[in-house]
Structure 1
Amino acid sequence: MITAETTVFESLESNVRGYCRSWPTLFTTAKGAWLKDEEGRDFLDFFAGAGALNYGHNNDLLKKPLLDYIASDGITHGLDMSTAAKRELLVTIRDTLLAPRGLDYKVQFPGPTGANAVEAALKLARKITGRKTILSFTNAFHGMTLGALSVTGNAAKRAGAGVPLVHATPMPYDGYFDNTTADFQWMERVLDDTSSGFDRPAAVIVETVQGEGGVNLARPEWLRHLAELCSARGILLIVDDVQMGCGRTGPFFSFETAGITPDIVTLSKSIGGYGLPMALVLFKPEHDQWNPGEHNGTFRGNNPAFVTATAALRHYWSDDALERSTLANGDVVAAELGKLAERFPGLSTRGRGMVHGLVFDDPGQAGKVGQAAFERGLLVETSGSMDEVVKLLPPLTLTGDELTEGLARLGAAVDNVMGG
C-alpha cells in the first residue's frame, strides 16, 4: 500500500495522474507478465503498458542486446543522423515486415509517441492533397495532442484541449447503427454531392479495433469498403496501428486480415520492443513529399529503442510462431469470457487476437470488476465511452499457465461483483 513515506505522489505530483488511482500500490520490479510491489505482492499484468509491452516486461531476448549496446558506448541520442543502430533497424523492417508482405513503404521516425506519429500523418495527408478536413470515426482515440484530439471521439478528452478542434468530421464506425449496411450510405452520398456542403477530405483515419473506444471491431469487409471508397475519391487512408499493431490482433499489422494497403500507417507503443519510446510513420513512396526537417523532434532518434526494436522483429517476426500462438490464445480468452457472458445477464464479450473486452450493460460494474481484479492480483483497465468495458491486453509472450491464471482471477472478480 501507499505509505506515509510515499505521500510525495500526492503532495508533489500533479492531479493528472490516472492509473495509480486504480492500482494504489507502489510497484518495484517487473518480469514477463508479472509486476511486484514494495510489499512483495505479485500482480499478473493484463494491461501491458496499454499495449506498449507486447513482449512482456524486461524480456531477456531484448535486454541483452540493449545492455551490450549501452556498454559499448553506442549512440543514444541521434536526432535523425545516420547511425549503425538505425541502419540495422531499417534493414530489418524491410526484410522482416515489408518485403514478406509485399508492402512498399517509406519509413519516417517522428517524435517517439503515438500521438506524434498521428500528428505527422495528418500533416502529411494535408500536404499531399492540399485539403484540410480529416474524417475520423465515432469512439475513436488517436492521442492527446491537438491534432490527434481533433480526430478523437471521447468528449471528456476533447474538452481538455481548451480550444475548438477543427478540420475534422466524425463518421459512424462499423456497427454504430443497428443496420450496419447503412454505415457508408450517407458518407458516400455527401462526398459525391457537390451541393452537400461537405468538403472533400484529405484523409480518413481509422483503427481496425478501437481499444480505448471499447474494443470495437471493424469487419474486414467494412475495412475493404472503406479503402475502396477512399481510393475511388482520391482520399488518403490512414490506419492508426499504435495499439493494435505489432501483433496484438495476430498478424503484425492489424489491417492484414482485411487485405488492404493503407496509404499511411502509424506505429508506436510496442514497436520499440522493450517499452522504450519509439514511433514510426509508414507511407507509400509517392507520398514522401516532406521537405527536410518539415516534421522533426529532438528525440526522434532514440537509438536504444532501435536496438530493442530490431531484436524484437528478428526474434518474433522472422516466422509466424508468435502470430499463431496469439490467435490460439485469443481463442482461449474468447471461450472463457464467453462462459462468463453466459452465466451473467447484462454481460457480453468481443475481441480479436489478444485484445478482448467484457462489456457491461451497467457501466458501473466494469470499474468494480477492475477493482476486484486488482484485489486478486490482476491488472486490467476499463475503456469505452462510459468505461463500460473491462479490456484485456496481456503480453503476447505470456505462458499458457499465466493466461489460465489471469482468466481465473478475472472470473473470480466478475463473480464477486455480479454473483454476490
Structure 2
Amino acid sequence: MKIFEEIESEVQSYARNFPRIFDRAKDEFIYDTEGNEYLDFLAGAGSLNYGHNNDIMKKRLLEYIEHDGISHSLDLHTEAKREFLETFHEKILKPRGLDYMVMFTGPTGTNAVEAALKAARNYTGRSNVVSFTNGFHGVTMGSLAVTGNSHHRGAAGVSLSNATRMPYDGYMGDDVDTIEYLDKVLSDSSSGIDKPAAAIVETIQGEGGINMCSMEWLQNLHVVCKKHEMLLIVDDIQAGNGRSGTFFSFEPSGIEPDIVTLSKSISGYGLPFALALIRPDFDQWKPGEHNGTFRGNNMAFVTAKAAIDAYWSDDHFEKEVRRKGSYIEQRLNAIVDEYGEGNFTTRGRGMFQGINCVNGDIAGQITHAAYKQGLIIETSGADDQVIKLLCPLTIKDENLTKGIDIVEAAVKLICKRVDEIPEESDYFDDVILEKNSENPEEPT
C-alpha cells in the first residue's frame, strides 16, 4: 500500500473503506492480490449492472480489438457507432415509443448532465434550473450547482448559481404536495424565482439516500414543466439501465421526459460512456457547441450493443430483475422488522434498495462488519445513513441470498450489541446457518 500512501491524492474515498489491492474480478466477485474473495454489492457504484468481465461482452470486445477496430474517432461515423445506434433505437427506444436524438457527450455522467443543462438553456434562452433537495448530479460546476450535498458543493471554492432548490417528494412529510408548492412559486411573479429553463430530477436519488418519488409526483412534475414552458430532465445515470426494474426508471409513470441522461451501466462493461437523449425539437445545437476529445467510446459502443442484444431483446431479463427486486424487498423488510426496533426503514425499487439506519455511524459499522466477512457494500445519504445495495443485476440467486445473509448478520451484530469478535470467528457463519435452518430462502 506504500505507493498509494506516498503519491496518490487525498481525494481518494472508496479505497479508504476497502483498503485492499484488487487485481481481478468476475461476475459478482472481486479478488485482492492475496487471493481473498469478496462479493461485490457496490458494482462500480452502479456501473457494472451485468457484473465484472461479463463473458458475452468480453467476447465481442476481444473480437473487436483483434480485428483492429477503431478505438478513438472523435465524433466521426464508425461501424461500431452505427451498430450501437441501430440496436439502441430498435430495442430500447422504439419498443417504448420514445423519440430521442442521441447525443454522445464526454464519457462521464456529469458531462451528460452539463450537456443537458446547456441544451435546455440554449433552447429556452433562460438560465435558472430547478433541482431538488438531496439530488446528486455530478461534481463539475454546472452539475454541482444543481446538486444538494453540502460536502460536494463546499469543494467548489466559488458560489454556485443559476439553480433553485425545491423540496423532493416526501421531503416536507407525506401530507405536503411539493409539486403544488413548485407550481405556486412559479406562478407567482413575486416569489423571487426566475422562470426556469428546466427542472432536473432523479426518480430514485442514489447518492441522496435512495429517496424514491412516486409516479404520481413525477407525472405532476411533468405537467408543471409543460405549464411553465420548461424542459424536464430525468437524470437516469444510476437508476437507469434496468436498475429500477425497467430500462428507464421513469417508464412506470408513462411520461416522456424532454431530456434523459445515461451513463454508468450504459456501456455494459464498465467502460466510460455517457449519453444525453434529447427530443428532436430541443436538439438545436450548432456544430461543436458541446464537444470533447472522448465523445463516443467505440469499445463501449461494442459492449453496449452486446448488452442490449443479450439482455433487452425481450422482457425476460426485466422480469428477472423485478423478481430479484421483490426478494430483496422481502428480505430487507424482514431485517428491519427484526432488528430495527422501529428506527430503521427500507426504501427503493427494483434492485436499487437499501436500509435507512438511525445515523451514519451505525450504517458505517454495519457495512464495515459486512466487509470483514467478504461483502463490499457502501452507504449513501446526507449523513451516510443508508446502506445501499447495488449488486449486479445478473447476480446468481445463491449469491444474492448469501450477500443479504451477511448484511443481516452484520445488522444483528451491531444492533444487538454483540461483543466485538475477531475476524476469524465463526459468528457470521453461525448466524447465517441459523437463519437458513429457520427459514431457508431463495429468490422466488
TM-score, normalization: structure 1?
A: 0.98
Pick from 256, 270, 278 the counterpart of residue 265 of structure 2.
270
Taking the TM superposition and a 5 Å limit, the aligned residue runs for 1:337-356 are 337-344=332-339, 345=341, 346-356=343-353
SS in 2 for 1:184: helix
The 1-side partners of 2:276 and 2:175 are apart by: 31
Please name the residue that 2:48 is paired with: 53
Pick from 396, 399, 404 the counterpart of residue 399 of structure 1.
396
The 2-side partners of 1:213 and 1:190 are apart by: 24
Please name the residue that 1:235 is paired with: 230
Please name the residue that 1:374 is paired with: 371
Question: In the alignment, residue 125 of structure 2 is paired with which amino acid?
Answer: G
Taking the TM superposition and a 5 Å limit, the aligned residue runs for 1:1-400 are 6-344=1-339, 345=341, 346-400=343-397
TM-score, normalization: structure 2?
A: 0.92
The 2-side partners of 1:100 and 1:58 are apart by: 28
Cα distance, 1:179 vs structure 2: 3.8
Question: In the alignment, residue 411 of structure 1 is paired with which amino acid?
Answer: E
User: Would the aligned equivalents of 2:164 and 2:193 in 1 still touch at CA under 8 Å?
Assistant: no
User: Would the aligned equivalents of 1:81 and 1:301 in 2 still touch at CA under 8 Å?
Assistant: no
Cα distance, 1:84 vs structure 2: 0.3
Question: In the alignment, residue 235 of structure 1 is paired with which amino acid?
Answer: M
Question: In the alignment, residue 417 of structure 1 is paired with which amino acid?
Answer: I
SS in 1 for 2:266: helix
User: Would the aligned equivalents of 1:362 and 1:388 in 2 still touch at CA under 8 Å?
Assistant: yes
Moved more, 359-368 or 122-131: 359-368
Instruction: Kindly indicate whether residue 412 of structure 2 is the aligned counterpart of residue 415 of structure 1.
Output: yes
The 2-side partners of 1:129 and 1:229 are apart by: 16
The 2-side partners of 1:180 and 1:110 are apart by: 40
User: Would the aligned equivalents of 2:359 and 2:384 in 1 still touch at CA under 8 Å?
Assistant: no
SS in 2 for 1:58: coil
SS in 1 for 2:387: strand
Cα distance, 1:185 vs structure 2: 2.7
1:299 to 1:180, Cα distance in 2 relative to 1, 3 A: farther
Cα distance, 1:361 vs structure 2: 1.3
Question: In the alignment, residue 146 of structure 1 is paired with which amino acid?
Answer: M
Question: In the alignment, residue 169 of structure 1 is paired with which amino acid?
Answer: T
User: Would the aligned equivalents of 1:265 and 1:282 in 2 still touch at CA under 8 Å?
Assistant: yes
SS in 2 for 1:238: strand
The 2-side partners of 1:51 and 1:266 are apart by: 15
Question: In the alignment, residue 282 of structure 2 is paired with which amino acid?
Answer: H
The 2-side partners of 1:326 and 1:176 are apart by: 28
The 2-side partners of 1:413 and 1:372 are apart by: 6
User: Would the aligned equivalents of 2:179 and 2:217 in 1 still touch at CA under 8 Å?
Assistant: no
Cα distance, 1:362 vs structure 2: 2.9
Question: In the alignment, residue 207 of structure 2 is paired with which amino acid?
Answer: E
User: Would the aligned equivalents of 1:271 and 1:309 in 2 still touch at CA under 8 Å?
Assistant: yes
The 1-side partners of 2:328 and 2:190 are apart by: 49
The 1-side partners of 2:219 and 2:329 are apart by: 25
User: Would the aligned equivalents of 1:80 and 1:301 in 2 still touch at CA under 8 Å?
Assistant: yes
The 1-side partners of 2:252 and 2:290 are apart by: 31
User: Would the aligned equivalents of 1:33 and 1:57 in 2 still touch at CA under 8 Å?
Assistant: yes
Cα distance, 1:309 vs structure 2: 0.4
Cα distance, 1:190 vs structure 2: 1.6
Cα distance, 1:178 vs structure 2: 1.3
Structure 2 gaps of 5+ residues are 419-444
Question: In the alignment, residue 322 of structure 2 is paired with which amino acid?
Answer: L
Deviation track 1:165-194 (CA, whole Å, cap 9, x = no partner) reads 000011000010114443123211121112
User: Would the aligned equivalents of 1:174 and 1:180 in 2 still touch at CA under 8 Å?
Assistant: no
Q: Percent identity?
A: 54
The 1-side partners of 2:405 and 2:293 are apart by: 45
The 2-side partners of 1:196 and 1:153 are apart by: 21
SS in 1 for 2:23: strand
Please name the residue that 1:3 is paired with: none
How large is the Cα RMSD of the aligned pairs?
0.8
Superposition misfits of 4+ residues, deviation over 3 angstroms: none
